[in-house]
Amino acid sequence: MSSTALVASLRAFLPAEAVLYEAEDLRPYECDGLSAYRQTPLIVALPGTEEEVLRILKVCHAAKTPVVARGAGTGLSGGALPHAHGVLLSLARLKSILEIDPAARTARVQPGVRNLAISEAAMPYGLYYAPDPSSQIACSIGGNVAENSGGVHCLKYGLTVHNILKLRVITIEGEILQIGSDGLDAPGYDLLALMTGSEGMLGIVTEVTVKLIPRPEKAEVVMAAFDDIRKAGDAVANVIAAGIIPAGMEMMDRITTHAVEEFVHAGYNLEAAAILLCESDGTAEEVSEEIRRIDEIMESSGAMEIRASSSEVERLRFWAGRKAAFPAAGRVSPDYYCMDGTIPRSKLSQVLSGIEALSQKYGLRCMNVFHAGDGNLHPLILYDASKPGELELTEEFGEKILHMCVQAGGTITGEHGVGVEKINQMCAQFRPGELEMFHGVKAAFDPEGLLNPGKAVPTLRRCAEHGAMHVRRGEEKFPELPRF
């Protein structure tokens, strides 16, 4: 079907302004939050109802036209990168909170609802939605489901998959599925977990039922400053080893705290090599005791300064600095490339040392900011895309960080997804047989491969052409990296 005919088919049931095809109208959709890769879509469709989503998918299926779903566009792996010959399906207009049930502690929402808006709507009932990505003021719940997003409090409260009960999904053929249930479990295979984090490759989410939890009576943050980033990494392991599961535990290195402090004025120690934020929440008695124990652990781990938040305003300011790390990077570099590897907590010190060695080798600065409690690293490689070859150098740097994470017993992504950014590193993470199994799952939902094609799961041919190999722990793919 020609693009003209496809536009006509979509405008048969969508308003004219909901079907975009002129170059100037398409340009805002050419990338997501990861702006290193750009592609203009053939058409952008902006449905306002579930029925319109269903009809769009039926039209595209009949025309054998690829479909890429997009939420708020805050993704960081190129998961919503458009297809040059496909329809970009924006779900931004499906932004209604359909129901809040305070007795069941659930909210039923459409995919375009902002993450933070759910907690705001639940606030009068003393409830909130726990996963809180740094982009929560803007990111949508549909995108959170697609990438299985986490946030600074995911250590204690889990990722998106741990905080949803039910999804309403439409297949590429136009079939509506209900996955999950209103109960804590559902019979059969765990398709809810399969769909969460599937990056829009299996179906289009049109409704999400999330869990809500009571707001804690009290929350307090300990900010510990260290003169050595390895000491901070060891402090993380010491807190967990003591049997403490903080509400959140985040780390930033010196280059990050300097960038953030100028941006937010959070009150961080700018002399420190690393800042560690460790939060306790619960009853006043629980928090008081846990903060006392955390203080002792930070001191014994070699902290040069320890300060607890003295008020809710100061607590929020400490977290505001951490959540502003990504935008603050824009103040110190024209461009940045955000990685998303996850490693065992016991390997933090070694991997951070390895990243520093790579930074020196490539001559590129790297801001390290991450969810220390669960080992989810977010190195921000600073570069200038206007300099010939610097993006390619940055990509090579990032690739070696991810291989190092796999080698340490971790994985290439913790919460940002694979998208196009890490698709080659999937060849290192998984064996050919495992990749074939992933393609089999994809084919069961989307046999013609029309939903978000070319993302997340590489073909075996791509792996061969890329020259990638499966990396087992201890393999010496990159001899200059530290051994584990």
pLDDT digits (tens, 9 = 90+) for 419-444: 999 999 999 999 999 999 999 999 99
SS3 408: coil
pLDDT, position 473: 47
Give yes or no: residues 339 and 462 share one domain: yes
Residue range of the domain that includes 382: 333-466
Give yes or no: residues 110 and 25 share one domain: no
When pLDDT is averaged across residues 460-465 and rounded to a whole number, the result is: 89
When pLDDT is averaged across residues 80-89 and rounded to a whole number, the result is: 97
Give the full edge-to-edge strand order of the sheet including 218-226.
305-308, 218-226, 274-282, 248-253, 366-371, 376-383, 335-338
pLDDT, position 472: 52
* pLDDT range class, residue 468, cuts 50, 70, 90: low
Say if 482 falls within a structural domain.
no
CA distance 7 to 266: 50
Q: Encode 328-338: b = buried (16+ Cβ within 10 Å), e = exposed.
A: bbeebbebbbb
CATH number at residue 22: 3.30.43.10
Smallest Cα–Cα separation from 7: which of 75, 122, 84, 87? 87
Amino acid, single-letter form, for residue 442: K
Q: How many C-beta atoms lie closer than 10 Å to residue 43's C-beta? A: 22
Say if 462 falls within a structural domain.
yes
Give yes or no: residues 152 and 246 share one domain: no
More confident residue, 367 or 35: 367
Smallest Cα–Cα separation from 50: which of 115, 122, 142? 142
Give yes or no: residues 296 and 405 share one domain: no
pLDDT at 466 over 90: no
Task: Identify whether the C-beta of residue 470 lies closer than 8 Å to the C-beta of residue 431.
Answer: yes
What angle (nearest 5°) sits at the alpha carbon of residue 364, between those of residues 358 and 367?
A: 85
Say if 342 falls within a structural domain.
yes
Q: What is the chain's length? A: 484
Say if 483 falls within a structural domain.
no
From 220-229, 260-269, 280-289, 393-402, the region with the lowest mean pLDDT: 260-269
Q: What is the DSSP letter of 208?
A: E
CA distance 412 to 422: 7
Last residue of a domain, one of 185, 214, 243: 214
CATH number at residue 117: 3.30.465.10
pLDDT, position 467: 67
Give yes or no: residues 395 and 279 share one domain: no
The mean predicted confidence, pLDDT, of the chain is 93
pLDDT, position 213: 98
When pLDDT is averaged across residues 205-231 and rounded to a whole number, the result is: 96
pLDDT at 7 over 70: yes
Q: Give the residue carrying structure tokens 């129901």.
A: 99
From 60-69, 257-266, 392-401, the region with the lowest mean pLDDT: 257-266
Smallest Cα–Cα separation from 266: which of 218, 328, 219? 328
Domain count, the chain: 4
Sign of CA dihedral 189, 193, 195, 201: negative
% of the chain exceeding 70 in pLDDT: 96
When pLDDT is averaged across residues 89-107 and rounded to a whole number, the result is: 98
pLDDT, position 480: 39
SS3 25: helix
